[in-house]
Amino acid sequence: MRFFVGTYTNDNRSAGIYSVSLDEKSGELGQPELAAKCSNPSFLALSPDGTRLYATAEVPSADGTQQGGLRAFHVTQGKGALTEFSALPLAASGTSTHVSVSPDGKAAFSVHYNAAWVASVRLDAQGALFERASLLTHAGKTGPNTKRQEKPHAHSIILSPDGRHAYVCDLGLDLVQPYLISPTDASLKALAPAASEPGDGPRHSRFSHDGRHLYVVNELTGSMGVYLRDTQEGTLSRLQTVSLLEPGFTGSNTSAEVQLHPNGRHLYATSRGPDIITVLERSEQDGLLKVLQRLPSGGRHPRHFALSPDGRWLVCANRDTDSLNVFAVDPTSGTLRATGFSAVVPQAVCVLFAP
């Protein structure tokens, strides 16, 4: 198996996007290789057929200034090499924060944390970043955490499995904002938002396979919100909130990422500060969660992780220890076991398995 790693390059220890092999029988990692030189490719997404990779980045605009935008790369199958073939600036200085690709491979979607914009981009027949379809900015009443929620912060955007709706977690506004996606031009229309608990700070989210439930990691309170989606209208209603942290935990925490196991029965989430991975069991009847396990992430600041396509392995990117740490997934219980296998990638912040 092979996966890609997005990084921060500000301190010049990392040079861009890396490719790493994983032995599918043992979980051992190969030596990381530079797949593409790029400035701050902090989040990555693949086209549905796996032939193209899209990365958040800083991109030169027409006037020569650097703007938040996207870069597109061709993927050399089996070798982990990337060749850039398209780039598009969107708006505001600094790196854009998150990127997703539509299930039909015809559009890409991105957000910018500090500028709080949400963008949709049409892709041409070859997957190049063709033109911006929408650029919307979040505004409204912010949450009670005056240090972190001083303004809107659009943190992530994902699409429903049917590709009809996009969902943006806004950490500053304490809400998940749904959008209707135009099937003709990929433009976005805002729908009624779903509020989290005050001060939650929604960060990243993940859908159940059937698109009925959305699971949201709340960065500031270290919890997971469970939302029921109206699959026709696209709106959300909150069903449950579960703590990702040990009972009685009082230290500093910023929870980060959530992933759903391919079997649909287990979810995983990371929390920075306590530096743990939380394993949760998901009810297939009502979508509700219960915590099964909490264990160390193998390093400091577990910003992101990914499960292998076969569901046997979890690779966690611990940014502050420059480490990728491998965990074996129990096929029945979904619980994790540290394998002891690791690799060094400076400032690793995103893990993306190739198909």
DSSP letter assigned to residue 270: E
Which residue, among 160, 88, 162, 97, has the nearest Cα to 121 in the 3D structure? 88
349, 42 Cβ separation under 8 angstroms: yes
Could you say which residues of the chain have pLDDT below 70? none
SS3 (DSSP) at 353: strand
Confidence (pLDDT) at 79? 74
pLDDT at 62: 85
Task: Name the pTM for this structure.
Answer: 0.97
Which DSSP string do the residues of 287-318 spell out, in sequence order?
Answer: --EEEEEEEE-SSS-EEEEEE-TTSSEEEEEE
Strand partners, 75: 82
pLDDT at residue 351, as a whole number: 98
